[in-house]
Structure 1
């Protein structure tokens, strides 16, 4: 991706290592969606003023770190995005948007810009946001930020995606649309329910992310809820609620899905038979594995493996 354009730094500063270590990058997926990604350790305090070529658009900003707050000014009003939180920001040409970076701080956030023309559908929250801007209520136009593990996970996948490949640009656009849709759903939910019960402190979110990575890297281990709670310091309720927020499933189902994905990879890349693969990923029953595999792929693991080998031979 190219260096970030559309931002101007005041006081004559330039983008260089005198201000930060890291990257500030931009990619236009099409003429309606653009992605800005910032991951840096700041050595000096500085601002980035944003001037959009889209006269009217919507930004979604997702803060992806556990110990830093993203500060921005919107129509000269200071707003703070807490760790693992996100905000909706309506933008018109008359509104000033500026990010504030502090010295000796690290930042990692994604900013998605979506043209108003891409949002031509009936949504009360969107209409209210843009109406607020149009009548001069810009100071109150930014939506409130709440921790949301699902949005952070999607933003992380978007960040890791190689968006220089044409087919991946379509996937990236899909992620952007899903993020916007889930953010709007979050906003609607927050107006009708009390979200405090689902609030997670930054250290709890960090433990959930660490545990997610441990399970992905070691699916063969035999996990128990008691051991997982002990290793994370989370209660059973917090652990299960956290996984439902982050992965939309219970801990047990997440472990099962990771094992299934690992087994599929081994079917594709190794010469191990089905029984060997089953025990290699931590499952104890071949019949159980065959049942969940067939439910997902509409064929048995053996048939799937045979098709892979047949396709491989036919390619020579």
Structure 2
């Protein structure tokens, strides 16, 4: 159910109302999500806020503005470490006491911290769509639970937080990452009018995004390098090819045809899919076909043979073999199981 929030709400941080003033829009609540729609005189789009747990908040910007705009990031949260990811377009960041401006490019990460009293801001360009995710993490409230973790990132993040906390400001420009893009693409544009279980599933994606941020941040600081050797245009082409395969799994995709379509070499194509999905191209195609087949089994009356043809496979016996390996049931058994769960 969607409602308009007319006064400060205890579930919404005061910083979100600061953003409301800047964007001059109304706050609307839909389940656990609060959204500011941009005033039409300023541009179009919205900023979405979701409280994940104490000490952990997520903000999704999807805006196209008529004029350049400066947004104080400390208005998002001044007590936190902010993990930024730019899914579309780009933006710039600057601390108020420095002339240096950092460009955060499409598919690029950044980690920002500043002590209270030091302004930290991002600049949004006019006429260019910006899709930006910010996960704000209260360093003490959230990361304290990592202190007893035995995994290497749990201990390492504690060390890094101690070092960062002793500085008045910190800015880390990370590498380009398609792994985070893949998760965010499933969240951007979501209406959040679904069931509570689905809502929890979507919240889980933010935790996956944060985990990937932390892992990448630790690796980059320790190795003094980024985690991908791919260029921005190569990363963009990889995500276009993965979207193409998902949209048309029935096509007989091959390394040769995908290279011709993308302009990438076979080595770059394989490197990109391995980096983003931890799969070879052929594994990705096979898994995409299985995902579509599973959905067709659950939601349609197509026969197994018809589904095999629809997803681009030619051998029913081969399909049954790989389907059972992934889902632990044969396609026929899975169809019966899905039908019984719906009826009950």
Partner of 2:159: 127
| CA displacement 1:242-261 (0-9 Å, x = unmatched) | 11122221111111011111
Contact 1:150/1:247 (8 A) holds in 2: yes
1:156 and 2:185 aligned: yes
1:33 touches 1:173 (CA, 8 Å); kept in 2?
Answer: no
SS in 2 for 1:288: helix
CA contact 1:71–1:101 (8 Å) conserved in 2: yes
The number of aligned residues is 308
8 Å Cα contact 2:16/2:75 also seen in 1: no
Q: CA RMSD of the aligned region, Å?
A: 2.8
What per-residue deviation string (whole Å, max 9, x for no partner) do you get for residues 11-34 of structure 1?
A: x88452232222223222343222
> Offset at 1:129?
4.2
User: 2: CA distance between counterparts of 1:264 and 1:170?
Assistant: 22
Separation (CA, whole Å) in 2 of partners of 1:189 and 1:179: 15
Q: Look up the match of 1:45.
A: 68
Greater mean alpha carbon deviation, residues 126-135 or residues 205-214 = 126-135
Please, which runs of 5 or more residues in structure 2 have no aligned partner? Answer: 6-14, 26-38, 148-154
The equivalent residue for 1:7 is 18
Distance 1:6 1:145 in 2: 29
Is residue 89 of structure 1 aligned with residue 90 of structure 2?
no
Change (3 A) 1:144 1:13: closer
Equivalent residues of 2:216, 2:227 under 8 A apart: no
Q: Deviations over 1:35-76 (max 9, x none)?
A: 2111122211221123458663221110002xx321122353
Deviation at 1:168, TM superposition (A): 4.0
Distance (Å, rounded) in 2 between the aligned partners of 1:45 and 1:187: 30
Match in the other structure for 2:152: none
Q: Superposed, which structure 2 residues align to 1:32-111 within 5 Å?
A: 32-51=55-74, 56-65=79-88, 68-77=89-98, 78-111=101-134
**Structure 1 residue 285: deviation in Å?**
1.6
TM-score by length of 1: 0.86
Distance between the aligned counterparts of 1:18 and 1:213, measured in 2? 34
Unaligned 5+ segments in structure 1 are none
Equivalent residues of 2:174, 2:226 under 8 A apart: no
Alpha-carbon distance between aligned partners in 1 of 2:324 and 2:212, rounded to the nearest angstrom:
30
Match of 1:118 in 2: 142
Runs of 4+ in 1 over 6 A off after TM superposition: 1-4
Moved more, 253-262 or 299-308: 299-308
Displacement of 1:197 in angstroms is 8.5
Q: Which stretch shows the higher mean deviation, 50-59 or 146-155? A: 50-59
Out of 8, 17, 22, the position equivalent to 2:40 is 17
Distance in 1 between residues matched to 2:157 and 2:50, nearest whole Å: 27
Distance 1:264 1:8 in 2: 42
Contact 2:52 2:58 in 1 (8 A): yes
Could you tell me how far apart the structure 2 residues matched to 1:197 and 1:26 are?
A: 29
- C-alpha contact 1:6 1:50 (8 A) present in aligned 2: no
Structure with the greater relative contact order (CA < 8 A, sep ≥ 6): 1 or 2?
A: 1
* Deviation for aligned residue 1:263: 1.0
Q: Residues of 2 paired with 1:189 and 1:197: CA distance?
A: 7
